Amino acid sequence: MTATTERPAAADSGARAARPRAPIAGLVTGGVLAVVVATWLTVPASVPGIPMPGPVVEYGLPFFRELLDLSATAAVGLSLLPKLLGFDDPDRTEPIAARARHWAVLSALAWCAAALVCTVLSAAELAPGSVPDVVAYVDGIGTGQGLVVSASCALASAAVGMFAVRFGEKVPAELRVLVTGFGLLPLPVTGHASNWYWHDLSMVSMELHVIGAAAWTGGLLSLAVLLSRDRELLARTLPRFSRLATWALIVVALSGLFNGAVELLLSPLEPFPQSLVTTKYGWLVLAKTLLIGLVAVAGANMRWRLMPAVARRAPTAFARWAALEVTLMGLAYGVAVALTRAPVA
Amino acid sequence: MSEVSRAPRTRRLSGAKAPVALLVLLAACVPIFLFAAPAQAHNVLVGSDPKDGARLTAAPARVTLTFDQAVRRDFARIAVTGPDGAHYEQGDVGVSGDDVFIGLRAGASGTYQIGYRIVSNDGHPVTGTLTYTVGDGAAPGGAGPSAGASAGSGTASDGTTGGTAGGITGGTTGGTAAAPGAYSGTGSGAGGGSSGGWVWGLLVAMAALLALAVRVLVRHDRRTGSAA
How many angstroms separate the CA of residue A304 from the nearest CA in chain B? Answer: 24
Query: Mean pLDDT score of chain B, rounded to an integer?
Result: 65
CATH architecture type of domain B45-190: Sandwich (2.60)
The class of domain A20-39+54-341 in CATH terms is mainly alpha
Helix (H) or strand (E) holding A216: helix A199-222
More confident residue, A264 or A7: A264
More confident residue, B219 or A241: A241
- Cross-strand partners of B95: B100
pLDDT at B142 over 70: no
Cα–Cα nearest to A5, from A100, A78, A110 = A100
pTM higher than the cut 0.90: no
Contact A192 B196 (CB under 8 A): no
Mean pLDDT of A155-164: 93
Sequence spans of domains, chain A: 20-39+54-341
pLDDT at A194 over 50: yes
pLDDT score, position A101: 92
Distance between CA atoms of residues A85 and B74, nearest Å: 52
Q: Which residues of A touch B115 (CB under 8 A)?
A: 47-50
User: What's the half-sphere exposure (Cβ side, CA atoms, 13 Å) at A308?
Assistant: 4
pLDDT digit string, tens, across residues B17-70: 555 555 655 555 554 444 443 345 677 888 888 888 888 888 888 889 988 888
pLDDT score, position B225: 63
Q: Give B161's DSSP letter.
A: S
A 147-206 residues with CB < 8 A to B: 148-149, 151-153, 155-156, 158-160, 162-163, 165-167, 169-172, 174-175, 177-178, 181-182, 185-186, 189-196, 199-200, 203-204
Distance between CA atoms of residues A126 and A140, nearest Å: 12
Sheet architecture: strand order including B45-49: B45-49, B62-67, B99-104, B89-96
List the single residue in B17, B41, B199 with the smallest CB-CB distance to A192. Answer: B41
Closest chain B residue by Cα to residue A171: B10
**Which ipTM score applies to this complex?**
0.74
Sequence spans of domains, chain B: 45-190, 196-228
Taking residue A169's Cβ as centre, other Cβ atoms within 10 Å add up to 19
Contact A139 B197 (CB under 8 A): yes
Angle at A307 between CA A302 and CA A312, to 5 degrees: 155
| Strand-strand pairing, B110-119 and B45-49 | unpaired
List the single residue in A48, A142, A167 with the smallest CB-CB distance to B36. Answer: A142
Top residue of A50, A185, A196, A337 to mutate, by most chain B CBs within 10 Å, is A50
Answer yes or no: are the C-beta atoms of B33 and B80 closer than 8 Å: no
Three-state SS for A312? coil
Contact B17 A174 (CB under 8 A): yes
Instruction: For residue A158, report the phi and psi dihedrals to the nearest 5 degrees.
Output: -65, -40
